[in-house]
Amino acid sequence: MKMRLEWHYQVPKGKKTYLLSTDFMSIQDILFFARDIEKTGRVKQLQFYDQMDSEWTKKELEKLLEKKSQEPEQIVAYFDGGFDKSTHIAGLGVVIYYEKDGQKYRIRKNERIEEMESNNEAEYAALWNLLLQLEELEIHHTELTIKGDSMVVINQLTNEWPCYEENLERWLDRIEKKTKQLGYIVNYKAISRKENREADQLASQALNEIFISSHLNLNDSET
């Protein structure tokens, strides 16, 4: 998550003020910059804004920084949905890589759900399931990368393609509301099925009623 700072500069011995604005930078850097500016004695007002243009106070940012020091970071997640036309059952696969306290972790999980209408809907359902897994990890207000091999889902979420199907539009709205609620800045990336093989395998296993739920410390597995 990155922030920018607006500094209302007070002219010495005068009533005139100037508005200065920084580029986006990390929370740590923006707070350091704000404290340094305050030392000048020329501050009428400081305003902080995130990449979604939401306003924060300095106190709120300090609390967020303290909380984020205990949260996962460097998050890269994968999703995939498999669909059985004869039964309208979908298999959902998600994989999440993240770092915490200098350790690297991987989550692998799948699920089987009914009453799907298409493979595209299964892909959306898989992405929704991924967001729920991230929420379970108590990840909030951060930037992350989500990868999938569904061109439809990725391009509709990035507004490259329009969405005309009502059932997909509902999933799209739910996902956008959830990411906003959690304060995510999401970098969606389309990848090949080969690059998405972990999530693809999990989706296939769910269709075959083979269920996986693992949370692995990758540092331990390397020793």
State pLDDT tens for residues 173-183. 999 999 999 99
- pTM (predicted TM-score): 0.77
Taking only the tens place, the pLDDT of each residue in 45-86 is: 899 999 888 899 999 999 888 877 677 889 999 999 999 999
> Among the three residues 68, 94, 126, which one is the final residue of a domain in this structure?
68
Same domain assignment for residues 99 and 192 = yes
Find the CATH number of the domain harbouring 204: 3.30.420.10
Closest CA relative to residue 110, chosen from 82, 86, 88, 152: 82
Same domain assignment for residues 61 and 103 = no
Number of domains in the chain: 2
Same domain assignment for residues 130 and 206 = yes
Which secondary structure element, helix H or strand E, spans residue 55, and what is its range?
strand 55-56
Same domain assignment for residues 141 and 210 = yes
Same domain assignment for residues 62 and 102 = no
Burial degree of 146 (CB within 10 A; 0-12, 13-18, 19+): buried
Enclosing domain of residue 88 = 73-222
Q: How far is CA 199 from CA 126, 137, 143, 192, 205, in A?
A: 9, 19, 21, 12, 10
Question: In this structure, what are the phi and psi dihedrals at residue 181, rounded to the nearest 5 degrees?
Answer: -60, -40
